[in-house]
Structure 1
Amino acid sequence: MSLPRPVMRGLLAKRLRFHLPIAFSLSIVAAIAFKYAVTEPRKQAYADFYKNYDAMKEFNAMKEAGVFESVKDVEK
């Protein structure tokens, strides 16, 4: 008793009809999950940070700490 020969003709097309929709749906689900798990919280964190951010206050704090070498204290 021998095994039947495998059907090779049309095998790729048959497997693609099964696997391609699964691949597309999984990629869409992954993109949506990334958007709501990573991108949206990151945008919210940036918005919260810059809501009360004072650039001049930050600059003066860095100047007082000696971070900048080329900034001189000019009294008015």
Structure 2
Amino acid sequence: MSAALLPKPQMRGLLAKRLRIHIVGAFLFSFGCVALYKFGVADPRKKAYAEFYKNYDATKEFEAMRKAGVFESVGPKSP
């Protein structure tokens, strides 16, 4: 009598059922990580680069480094 009260274990299709659940979970987790990286890292970084290069003068920066003696092949400007 006690054997009739316990449900039979599922043997057929158990792996396929578990894989379906885990694959959906893995996709949701990966898309969540991608969204967090995009909005938490990539977009702020792009905004910071755009802000930096909006007022960046490469010639002025080169002249400052040349006067400081950073370059060996380009000496200070002769007066």
TM-score of the pair, normalised by structure 1: 0.81
The DSSP-based 3-state class of the residue aligned with 1:15 is helix
5+ long unaligned stretches in structure 1: none
Q: Residue 45 of structure 2 corresponds to which residue in structure 1?
A: 42
Bigger mean CA offset, 39-48 vs 7-16:
7-16
Q: Percent identity among equivalent residues?
A: 58
Q: Which residue of 2 aligns with 1:25?
A: 28
Count of equivalent residues: 74
Q: How many Å separate the matches in 1 of 2:31 and 2:17?
A: 23
Residues 1-76 of structure 1 aligned to structure 2 (within 5 Å): 7-73=10-76
CA distance in 2, matches of 1:73, 1:63: 6
Taking the aligned partners of 1:8 and 1:68, their CA distance within structure 2 comes to 73
The structure whose Rg is larger is: 2
Report the residue type matching 2:59 in the other structure. Answer: M
1:64 to 1:73, Cα distance in 2 relative to 1, 3 A: closer
Higher relative CO (Cα under 8 Å, sequence separation at least 6) belongs to 2
The answer for unaligned runs of 5 or more in structure 2 is 1-7
